[in-house]
A = this chain, B = another copy of it.
Amino acid sequence: MRVVSSINRVRQILKSARSNGTIAFVPTMGALHEGHLSLMKKAKAECDFLVVSLFVNPLQFGPTEDFKVYPRELASDRKKAHSAGADLLWIPSEKDLYPPGFQSTVTVSKISQPWEGIFRPDHFKGVSTIVAKLLQITRPDRLYLGQKDYQQSCVIRQMIRDLHFETQMRVCATCREKDGLAMSSRNARLSTKARENAAILYRALQAAKNQVRSGERDAKCIIQTVTSLLESIPGLKYDYVALCDIETLEPLERLADCAVLLAAIHIGRVRLIDNIRLKIPKK
């Protein structure tokens, strides 16, 4: 595995890789966990060359958010990426991606607005801009993203379509801890007690799923099930719990065919998101 910072060097390496086969790309902010590694393994299994980027993108953090305390674990990240099959680990510098005078941004307007967009204004502008930049430089055949950041994957899918990137997108299932908590670099920042309590998020989503299995179709009732469970944990606050169309993310009143249930919570000083797909069982 080569470890490279320079944009030009990345282009050079990928140019040669491209002439020999297909390129897979896994963009990360580091602090790699099993979720990232499973994306990498899948990517490497499906393509000839795997490039992983590691960049904590300041543009996608709000002024009061956790950019400064976001976990950084470069040494172990290198080992993990290597063991997961990365051929190239790209660690760009902030000054190469955002040099003095930088001022161009990519906005995906509609799909960025609800849910995360309300609680993290400009977050998705930061995401779509950095992903546009990374895709321009790496020009991969396939881009691998995790389902945990569901709305993010919708935003990027729309951007790829609208701006004519020649990259196929693959969204892979969320990896979870034993108690169901979605893997996230931010989990490392939970206290022991908060970590224990955080399991409620997935349990609440599962409760909604069971309710749908038992025949419930009304969005309000399904959401109520989730919020009641979340509220049972002292100190836990939620930003939203939403039952949405799987593509447009518009809220649904009734579950008709399939939907995605999205939620964002605050537990201790950490903000966590998760989601599950709901599908009405065929009769």
Residues of A within 8 A of B (CB): 7, 11, 101-111, 128, 132-133, 136-137, 158-159, 162-166
Whether A137 pairs with B164 at a CB distance below 8 angstroms is yes
Whether B101 pairs with A158 at a CB distance below 8 angstroms is yes
| Nearest-CB residue, chain B, relative to A132 | B163
3 interchain residue pairs of minimum CB distance: A104-B162, A136-B164, A103-B109
Whether A104 pairs with B128 at a CB distance below 8 angstroms is yes
Kindly state the separation between the CA atoms of A7 and B128 in the bound complex, as whole angstroms. 23
Whether A104 pairs with B163 at a CB distance below 8 angstroms is yes
A136 partner residues in chain B, CB cutoff 8 A: 163-165
> Shortest Cβ distance from A90 into chain B, in angstroms?
13
> Shortest Cβ distance from A103 into chain B, in angstroms?
5
Whether A105 pairs with B107 at a CB distance below 8 angstroms is yes
> Shortest Cβ distance from A27 into chain B, in angstroms?
14
Kindly state the separation between the CA atoms of A166 and B7 in the bound complex, as whole angstroms. 12
- Residue among A102, A103, A108, A159 with the most chain B CB within 10 A? A103
Whether A164 pairs with B7 at a CB distance below 8 angstroms is yes
Whether A133 pairs with B163 at a CB distance below 8 angstroms is yes
| Nearest-CB residue, chain B, relative to A110 | B103
A133 partner residues in chain B, CB cutoff 8 A: 162-164
Whether B108 pairs with A106 at a CB distance below 8 angstroms is no
A158 partner residues in chain B, CB cutoff 8 A: 101, 103-104
Kindly state the separation between the CA atoms of A165 and B11 in the bound complex, as whole angstroms. 12
Return the contact of A108 from the options B103, B132, B159, B164 (Cβ within 8 A): B103
Kindly state the separation between the CA atoms of A102 and B161 in the bound complex, as whole angstroms. 8
A132 partner residues in chain B, CB cutoff 8 A: 163
> Shortest Cβ distance from A195 into chain B, in angstroms?
38
Kindly state the separation between the CA atoms of A101 and B136 in the bound complex, as whole angstroms. 23
> Shortest Cβ distance from A13 into chain B, in angstroms?
15
Return the contact of A104 from the options B101, B102, B104, B106 (Cβ within 8 A): B106
Whether B105 pairs with A106 at a CB distance below 8 angstroms is yes
> Shortest Cβ distance from A194 into chain B, in angstroms?
37
Whether A104 pairs with B159 at a CB distance below 8 angstroms is yes
Kindly state the separation between the CA atoms of A158 and B101 in the bound complex, as whole angstroms. 9
